[in-house]
Amino acid sequence: MHNLISPHGSDELKPLYVEDAGARKSLLQAAESMPSITISSAAAGNAVMLGGGYFTPLNGFMNKASALSVGASMQTTDGLFWPTPVLNLVADAGNIKPGDQIALKDPNVDGAPVLAVQNVEAIESFSASEIDTLCQQTFGTTDTDHPGVAEFIAQGNTLISGPLQVLNYSYFETDFPDTFRTAVQIRNEISALGWKRIVAFQTRNPMHRAHEELCHMAMQRLNADGLVIHMLLGKLKPGDIPADVRDAAIRKMIELYFPKNTALVNGYGFDMLYAGPREALLHAVFRQNMGATHFIIGRDHAGVGDYYGAFEAQEIFDKLPAGALEIELFKADHTAYSKKLNKVVMMREAPDHSKEDFVLLSGTAVREMLSEGTAPPEEFSRPEVAKILMDYYRS
């Protein structure tokens, strides 16, 4: 472990999962007589990330002052760099009061079992204008057509803050046993492989050839020992490809097109925020926590619609105070197959090309091809990967 990059703001990871089975069992029993509340999917995702050590060094849900401070200056009231509020927002806290120990129930699992136990330090409310301000700061917009904004506003404006003890990893561990990994587990895997320079790649989609080549390019240029393809396993917007299909497609690509023991495929339990630049920073924080030294950020990272400029998610890193993050960026442009050069290139590195020189297909066009059972051209998608996607669309 000691050779790896330090976790964010800490010498060691701080997973909030209760590791000891006996302690976990007695907490679960105690939880039965605690006041309980079913939390939002967003809060459940935060709990899972806190549980797995991804949100080191946070010890639970932020209070109002920290949330507003993170919105305004990307720092908690303790001065820790943090890009997005990590909250337990509810519509109504009922009779819960500071000093209570409460059971947080999981909205994403049948029967809403207890996901975590929280020690309540404060119960506070945001005004409508504070919610607006936080949306503007986090998402760059207050437009309720933005899926992240809509989700944030839907949770309610009462925040329950305080430290957390996490009792399970929700549906992520049961639905994705081969893929879901905590930051602790990924650090251990990287250590066991002896990797020193590790590139992380974020994805919420299947990977086409351009993504695959981008990973090869980054590894080569950074002289990296290994790649961690780290996929989001939580909730997406309608029309996105489900995680199990995405997972199968990515594993097939790694198996066939990457040398053995150079790439790990795993995932984390969190819902997409679609917060563009701020989410890119959050992605970097938790990739550092899982042990990556470098992180690929391409065009419109974590974006949605036309809310963000193509390279805003890269530019925000240039404005950070010194020492905010240890992880380094690999800044990528859009990659595409060049008919002139017969290989995938970064578009900005081919200034003599026109649009016609690239194999470019819109997401919509690709989806149509796949659902009609037509494989996209090999320059765009590996046939073995396309087959998995075609089978999904045709079912």
Residues labelled catalytic: 204-205
Helix axis angle for 128-139 and 147-154, nearest 10°, is 150
Q: Does residue 147 have a cis bond before it (omega within 30 degrees)?
A: no
Using CA of residue 144, residue 149, residue 151, residue 157, what is the dihedral sign? Answer: negative
Strand partners, 118: 102, 164
DSSP annotation of 87? -
Amino acid in position 326: E
Torsion of CA 74, 80, 81, 87, to 10 degrees: -60
